């Protein structure tokens, strides 16, 4: 079909594949994978058969295939499909489960289809960050949150309840982010700093601060960029000086938090100076 697109991106940070199909009509015969698949429908309707069960899936529905789950699908009424998914190897899932539960186990997800699930929002956010080649820190946060969500709502595994943790270690992380915001920071680096698993760090920090570690870091960067822009520093240089990968990266976060682009913000102070 002339208008169909198929994009495949291999993410080196998370060690997984991100697929995006747009406008496809292809029928997929019965098959299985030796990895996990987490996907969702953006547009179109499909008839799916998985493990002998029949489904009709619509936009907003989430699909989950365990390794070796046999499935086939085709479009309803000859329409087209827009679909995003991530393919995750078993050893990557094991590492995530070690962070979450302290043991390298493989979950088995009970339902292959989650209708109109909020998980689609988390999955789309992660998928977009992968295709945009976002920082590993942010992608790993989202991936662990996705796994937590899926384990809680669609598996027989229980996630341990977080114990009440000392705010001292959370403050250690905050101080580290405030002091090293211009550098590339990894979740592993923060985990090693205080001796907590990545998942436990995410949960404890977010609970106590009301914001995830990566969002905390980006807020610090934006606040410092504001001060530079107020002094007349150009957006491209402000991005470099505050740890953003480039000007577009700064612009995206700056506008989401401030409601203006860096250039618009800088012009406010230029006009004040002229007055």
Q: Report the Cα 267 to chain-centroid distance in Å.
A: 33
Cβ neighbours of 125 (radius 10 Å): 16
Note the pLDDT of residue 136: 94
- Mean pLDDT in residue range 235-244: 93
Whether the pLDDT of residue 244 is over 50: the answer is: yes
Taking the C-alpha atoms of residue 212 and residue 125, their distance in angstroms, rounded to an integer, is: 15
**205 pLDDT above the threshold of 90:** yes
pLDDT score for 15: 97
What would the two tokens of residue 244 be?
A: 């953003």
Check residue 274 and give its pLDDT: 53
At residue 236, what are phi and psi to the nearest 5 degrees?
A: -60, -40
Asked whether 185 and 177 are in contact (CB, 8 A), the reply is yes
- β-sheet bridge partners, residue 43: 82
The reported pLDDT for the residue numbered 159 is 84
Task: Say whether pLDDT at 222 is over 90.
Answer: yes
Q: Which residues contact 141 (CB under 8 A, 6 or more apart)?
A: 187, 202, 212, 213, 214
Structural tokens at position 122:
């988390």
**What is the C-alpha separation between 224 and 152, in angstroms, rounded?**
38
**Alpha carbon separation from 24 to 47, 125, 239 (Å, rounded):** 14, 22, 39
Give the Å distances, CA to CA, from 55 to 21, 72, 116, 120.
20, 11, 13, 18
pLDDT for residue 270 is more than 80: no
The confidence band for 47, taking pLDDT boundaries of 50, 70 and 90, is very high
What pLDDT sits at residue 272? 62
Domain with CATH 1.10.10.60 in the chain: 162-275
- DSSP secondary structure of 65-101: E-TT--EEEEEGGG--EEEEEEEE-HHHHHHHHHHHH
C-alpha–C-alpha distance, residues 112 and 93, integer Å: 17
Q: What is the mean pLDDT of residues 227-246?
A: 92
Q: What is the DSSP letter of 166?
A: P
Say what the pLDDT of residue 271 is: 65
> Residue 211, Cβ neighbours under 10 Å: how many?
13
Q: What SS3 class is residue 33? A: coil
Topology of the domain covering 162-275? Arc Repressor Mutant, subunit A (1.10.10)
pLDDT at 162 over 90: no
| All CATH 2.60.120.10 domain ranges in the chain, comma separated | 5-154
As a whole number, mean pLDDT of residues 7-22 equals 96
Half-sphere exposure of 272 (CA within 13 A, CB side): 10
Burial class (CB in 10 A: 0-12, 13-18, 19+), 1: exposed
Give tens-digit pLDDT for 140-159: 999 999 999 999 999 988 88
- Confidence band, pLDDT 50/70/90 cuts, at residue 161: confident
> Does 42 have pLDDT greater than 90?
yes
| Res 9: pLDDT | 95
pLDDT tens profile 108-129: 999 999 999 999 999 999 999 9
Residue 166 has pLDDT above 70, yes or no: no
Averaged pLDDT, 243-269: 90
What average pLDDT does the structure give for the chain? 92
Using left for φ > 0, alpha for ψ between -120 and 50, and beta otherwise, residue 22 falls in beta
What is the average per-residue pLDDT within 58-69? 97
Rounded-to-integer distance, Cα 148 and Cα 153, Å: 9
Sign of CA dihedral 109, 70, 123, 187: positive
Q: Could you confirm whether domain 5-154 is CATH 2.60.120.10? A: yes
Is the pLDDT reported for residue 206 higher than 90?
yes
Distance between CA atoms of residues 149 and 112, nearest Å: 15
The total of other beta-carbon atoms located within 10 Å of residue 145's CB is 18
**In the structure, what pLDDT confidence band is assigned to residue 275 with cuts at 50, 70 and 90?**
very low
């Amino acid at each position: 079909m002339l208008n169909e697109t198929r994009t495949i991106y291999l993410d080196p940070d998370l060690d997984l594949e991100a697929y995006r199909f747009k406008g496809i009509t292809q029928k997929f015969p019965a098959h299985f994978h030796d990895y996990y698949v987490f996907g969702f429908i953006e547009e179109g309707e499909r008839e799916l058969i998985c493990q002998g069960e029949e489904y009709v899936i619509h936009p907003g529905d989430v699909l989950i295939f365990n390794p070796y789950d046999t499935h086939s699908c085709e479009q309803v009424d000859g329409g087209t499909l827009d679909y995003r998914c991530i393919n995750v190897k078993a050893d990557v899932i094991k590492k995530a489960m070690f962070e979450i539960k302290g043991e390298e186990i493989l979950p088995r997800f009970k339902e292959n289809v989650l209708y109109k699930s909020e998980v689609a929002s988390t999955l789309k956010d992660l998928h977009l960050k992968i295709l945009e080649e976002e920082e590993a820190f942010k992608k790993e946060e989202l991936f662990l949150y996705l796994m937590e969500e899926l384990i809680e709502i669609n598996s027989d595994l229980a996630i341990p309840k977080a114990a009440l943790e000392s705010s001292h270690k959370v403050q250690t992380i905050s101080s580290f982010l405030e002091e090293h915001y211009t550098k590339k920071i990894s979740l592993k680096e923060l985990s090693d700093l205080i001796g907590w698993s990545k998942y436990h760090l995410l949960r404890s920090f977010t609970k106590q601060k009301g914001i995830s570690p990566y969002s905390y870091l980006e807020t610090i960067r934006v606040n410092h960029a504001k001060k530079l822009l107020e002094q007349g520093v150009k957006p491209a240089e402000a991005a470099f000086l505050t740890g953003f990968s480039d000007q577009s990266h700064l612009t995206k976060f700056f506008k989401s938090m401030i409601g203006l682009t860096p250039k618009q913000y800088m012009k406010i102070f230029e006009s004040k100076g002229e007055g």
